[in-house]
A and B are shown apart, each in its own frame.
Chain A
Amino acid sequence: MNILKGKIKTIKSSGSLSLVTIDIQGIFFSTIILETPSTASYLIPENQIKVIFKETEVIIGKDIEHAISIQNKIAGKILEIKKGDLLSKLTIETRIGRLIAVITSDILYQLQLEINENIIAMVKTTEIMLSE
């Protein structure tokens, strides 16, 4: 699990859904959740909150910056690579902390990812959970 600490910035609700923006040391992450301020007591702007997502949900981008439907992006540097038969684990250093990403070993070779390489780590808004 990747856990980042941040502060709730904005909450946009519609029906029972909310789009929450969290400020993590100046980087903004968004998440869509099936809660509203009336059902979840922690949904208050400026509230300290933990942003949680699984390492298997982290997407790695390299080189070219093209338009992509993923809101949450953070630049980082690969610190460590642990290669497995099918899956590989990357430890990524970013300005908001270390992240772990588990990707297939195939794509690791295809992208020729190496230690110290600069990459972009991305997480879909629907994959992020919040916790007090």
Chain B
Amino acid sequence: MDWEPLLLTFKLALVTTLLLLVISIPLAYWLAYTKSRIKPVLETLVSMPLVLPPTVLGFYLLIAFSPSNTFGNWLNEYFGLQLIFSFEGLVIASILYSLPFMVHPIQAGFSNLSSTIIEASYVLGKSKIITLFKVLLPNIKPSLLTGIVLAFAHTIGEFGVVLMIGGNMPGKTKVASIAIYDEVESLNYDAANWYSLILFIITFSILLIVYLVNGGYLKRFWK
């Protein structure tokens, strides 16, 4: 069996999750505390990947990133970035696709925190940044964990977007879900079964750990 698609899948999920975490914390913070009128618009955009067929997202990204297009051409010329049929393109598509899975739990975590502890920090002379890192984030650890794991697991499971924008290039864009599809197409059920089983076991374990930790069963390990 070829392990490459599996390794590629986890590499993609890891990179996507890390980048998503960096993007989602400020975004969720803004969504949780803003009184801006454009908040509903932004919330809708963040949630779109939940309901939109992945192929729609993939299709538009394919159009946008295509070198024959102005944006795609500009990326290529100034950054040397070729986003279609490349790993970088997959990462960007995955970030958009899994955005709600990371943003929603973190936003909910912020919203559930009592606003007085934020104010308490401000009147103690602490800046917004210090308050975020010392007070807010440590108190929403379960939400962060949920976001990280959901985004990670969701990225492992994506198929439509990847197929549209990444295609099926071994070692570059051929992730496990594509590989399964590929093997089934060529009636290679044995290999498809192995990939599927491994994905099944890993995602099951990841989710199980989240529920155990957030349910307080493993408190000793998460303090």
Q: Report if A and B touch in the complex (beta carbons < 8 A).
A: no
